[in-house]
Structure 1
Amino acid sequence: MKQWLTIIGVGLDGLDGLSHRAQATIDQASVVAGSDRLLDAAQIAPYKRYAWPSPFSEGLTHILKQRGQSVVVLATGDPMHYGVGASLAGHIPSDEMTVIPAPSAFSLAASRMGWALQDVNCLSLHGRPLEALFSSLQPGSRLLLLTSDGAAPGQIMSLLLQAGYGPSKVTVLENLGGGDEARHDLRAEEHTFDSFAALNVMAVHCAADEDVQHLPLVPGLPDGAFVHDGQMTKREVRSITLAALAPTNGERLWDVGAGCGSVAIEWLRAAPRSSAVAFERDDERIGMIQQNALRLGVPQLSVVEGRLPEILAGQAAPDAVFHGGALADHDVFDTCWNALRSGGRLVANAVTLEGETALSDRHKAHGGELVRIEVSRAIAVGRFRGMQPGMAVMQWRAVKP
Structure 2
Amino acid sequence: MANLIHVIGIGPGNPDYITPLALELINNADILVGGERVLKPFTGLGKELFIIKNNLPEMVRFIKSRCEDCHVAVVASGDPGFYGILEYLRRYFAPPELAVEPGLSSIQMACARLGISWHDAVFCSIHGRDAAGLVELVRVNPKVIILTDPNMTPAALARELAEAGVSNKKMYVCENLSYDNETIGEFDIDNVPEDIGKSGCVIVILDKA
- If the length of structure 1 is used for normalisation, what is the TM-score? 0.48
Paired with 1:148 and 1:32, the residues of 2 have a C-alpha distance of 25
State the Cα distance separating 1:66 from its structure 2 match: 2.0
Q: Return the offset for 1:4.
A: 1.9
Deviation at 1:118, TM superposition (A): 1.9
Deviation of residue 151 (structure 1)? 5.8
Measure the CA separation in 2 of the matches of 1:197 and 1:12.
17
Confirm or deny: 8 A CA contact 1:13 1:179 kept in the other structure: no
SS at match of 2:167: coil
Q: Check conservation: 2:13, 2:78, Cα contact below 8 A.
A: no
Aligned residue identity for 1:26: I
Partner of 1:174: 175
Give the letter aligned to residue 35 of structure 2.
S
Q: Structure 1 pair 194/31, CA: closer, same or farther in 2 (3 Å)?
A: same
1:327-369 CA-to-partner distances (Å, cap 9, x unmatched) read xxxxxxxxxxxxxxxxxxxxxxxxxxxxxxxxxxxxxxxxxxx
CA RMSD of aligned residues (A): 2.2
Distance 2:51 2:141 in 1: 42
Once residues 191 and 177 of structure 1 are traced to their aligned partners in structure 2, the CA distance between those partners, rounded to angstroms, is 22
Aligned partners of 1:164 and 1:84: how far apart in 2?
35
Query: Deviations 1:280-339 (Å, cap 9, x if unpaired)?
Result: xxxxxxxxxxxxxxxxxxxxxxxxxxxxxxxxxxxxxxxxxxxxxxxxxxxxxxxxxxxx
Distance 1:112 1:14 in 2: 15
- Classify the secondary structure of the residue corresponding to 1:23: helix
* 1:231-264 deviation digits (Å, cap 9, x = unpaired): xxxxxxxxxxxxxxxxxxxxxxxxxxxxxxxxxx
Please report how far the alpha carbon of residue 15 of structure 1 lies from its aligned counterpart in structure 2 after TM superposition. Answer: 3.5
Distance 2:140 2:133 in 1: 17
Following superposition, the deviation at residue 192 of structure 1 comes to: 3.0
Preserved CA contact (<8 Å) 1:139 1:206: no
When the two structures are aligned, how many residues end up with a matched partner?
207
User: Identity rate of aligned residues, in percent?
Assistant: 24
**Is the 1:77–1:102 Cα contact (8 Å) retained in structure 2?**
yes
Partner residue, 2:36: 36
CA displacement at 1:46 relative to structure 2: 6.3
- 2:73 corresponds in structure 1 to 72
- Determine the C-alpha separation between the residues in 2 that align with 1:130 and 1:61: 32
Alpha-carbon offset, residue 188 of structure 1? 0.8
The superposition leaves residues 87-130 of structure 1 with CA deviations (integer Å, 9 ceiling, x where unpaired) of: 21232122222111111122122222333222100100111102
2:27 corresponds to which residue? 27
Contact 1:125 1:132 in 2 (8 A): no
**What runs of 5+ residues in structure 1 fail to find an aligned partner?**
208-401
Answer yes or no: is 1:17 the counterpart of 2:2.
no
Distance 1:114 1:47 in 2: 39
Question: Distance in 2 between the 1:135 and 1:44 partners?
Answer: 47
Distance change >3 Å, CA 85–CA 70, structure 1 → 2: same
CA contact 2:143–2:204 (8 Å) conserved in 1: yes
1:158 Cα deviation from its structure 2 partner:
0.7
Post-superposition shift, 1:53?
2.8
Match of 2:62 in 1: 62
Letter paired with 1:159: E
Structure 2 residue aligned with 1:104: 105
Q: Distance in 2 between matches of 1:70 and 1:27?
A: 11
Structure 2 CA distance for partners of 1:140 and 1:82, relative to 1, 3 Å: closer
- Tell me which of the two structures has the higher relative contact order, counting C-alpha pairs closer than 8 angstroms and 6 or more residues apart: 2
- Compute the displacement of 1:5 (Å): 0.8
User: Could you give the per-residue CA deviations for residues 186-241 of structure 1, whole angstroms, max 9, x where no partner exists?
Assistant: 1111123333352410011146xxxxxxxxxxxxxxxxxxxxxxxxxxxxxxxxxx
Aligned to 1:127: 128
The 5 Å alignment of 1:2-401 reads: 3-44=3-44, 48-68=48-68, 69-139=70-140, 141-149=142-150, 152-196=153-197, 198-206=199-207
